[in-house]
Amino acid sequence: MLQLPKVIGHRGAAAYALENTLESFREARRRGASWVEIDVKLTADNVPILMHDASLKRTMGVDRLVAETRAADLPKDVPTFEAAIDCFRELGLGCNVEIKPCEGREVETARLTVETLRRCWPASLPPPLLSSFKDASLATARDGAPQFARAILIDELADDWRRRAEAVGAMGVNTSGKKLTAPRAVEVREAGYALSVYTINNAAVARALVGMGVQCIITDAPDIIIAALNS
Ligand code: G3P
Ligand code: MG
């Protein structure tokens, strides 16, 4: 069974700092997280960087698509994936690397993400968990670096979840905590998969999900969820 922490900081500690930035990872660490989740995309010149949206507008105030921006032209607060890994080494943080390709770049994004991991991931850290909503990205990750565990990302579990997980050799299922039902949670756990949920920022909801068999809560507010699960 895949070993995961009870709590992962979503995009760092997105409730307290600008998401997917080095400051957000430092904040997650200060608030007790041992792992963070990040979103990896490619720039126009094929550099893996951290950004959730297709556009830089919401987080950086720049009305431009990531896929049309060269790495050298990114706002300074957008880290490259390599810079983020250096930061994790310094802070001792594990990572759930979500492969979040821009439209049509599923294979290339996964290929360069695992190439970076193979080259840069520190032996001092626990191995990363790769996840994606895109099966083509997970299949590419499996073929390029089978040693890194994978989780399928599904917003709402349906009857085909297990077929999808088996097709990409996943060991985990990451799904929306707000949509997860108790029977689906039992099904996933009994099938031997690690079960993680996003994005849960409420203490009582987190406790209820753990009671349903969820192993890991992905949250914007790691301090609140860590305190809830330890009380
Ligand atoms: O990886 C969990 C979660 O981050 C998936 O959704 O849209 O926040 O990347 P999103
Ligand atoms: Mg994500």
Q: Is the per-residue pLDDT at 19 higher than 90?
A: yes
In this prediction, residue 1 carries a pLDDT of 82
Examine residue 153 and state whether it is found in any structural domain, yes or no: yes
Contact status, residue 193 vs residue 165, Cβ threshold 8 Å: yes
Q: How many domains does the chain have?
A: 1
Q: What pLDDT, in 10s, does the model give residues 176-187?
A: 999 999 999 999
Q: What pLDDT, in 10s, does the model give residues 117-129?
A: 999 999 999 999 9
Residue 115 DSSP one-character state = H
Average pLDDT over residues 55-79: 98
Average pLDDT over residues 87-107: 98
How open is the CA angle 197-47-196, to the nearest 5 degrees?
10
Q: Whose CA is nearest to atom 5 of ligand 1?
A: 198
Q: What value does the mean pLDDT of the chain take? A: 98
Helix (H) or strand (E) holding 95: strand 94-99
CATH number of the domain residue 36 falls in: 3.20.20.190
Average pLDDT over residues 80-94: 98
Q: Which residues pair with 197 in a beta bridge?
A: 175, 217
In this prediction, residue 231 carries a pLDDT of 86
Question: Could you tell me if residue 197 is left (phi over 0), alpha (psi between -120 and 50 degrees) or otherwise beta?
Answer: beta
Q: Which residues pair with 127 in a beta bridge?
A: none
154 three-class SS: strand
Q: Give the ligand 1 atom nearest the CA of 218.
A: 2
Examine residue 2 and state whether it is found in any structural domain, yes or no: no
> What residue has token string 């830089």?
56
φ and ψ at 130, to 5 degrees? Answer: -95, 140
Examine residue 97 and state whether it is found in any structural domain, yes or no: yes
The whole-model pTM stands at 0.98
For 148, residues 6+ apart whose C-beta sits below 8 A from its C-beta are 114, 117, 127, 128, 129, 130, 141
Q: What pLDDT, in 10s, does the model give residues 136-178?
A: 999 999 999 999 999 999 999 999 999 999 999 999 999 999 9
Examine residue 108 and state whether it is found in any structural domain, yes or no: yes
φ and ψ at 134, to 5 degrees? Answer: -100, 115
- Ligand 2 centroid to Cα of residue 98, in Å, is 6
For 186, residues 6+ apart whose C-beta sits below 8 A from its C-beta are 212, 213
Q: Give the ligand 1 atom nearest the CA of 196.
A: 2
Q: Whose CA is nearest to atom 10 of ligand 1?
A: 52
Maximal CA-CA distance, the chain: 48
Examine residue 1 and state whether it is found in any structural domain, yes or no: no
Contact status, residue 98 vs residue 154, Cβ threshold 8 Å: no
Amino acid sitting at position 28: A
Examine residue 142 and state whether it is found in any structural domain, yes or no: yes
Domain of 55 in residue numbering reads as 7-230
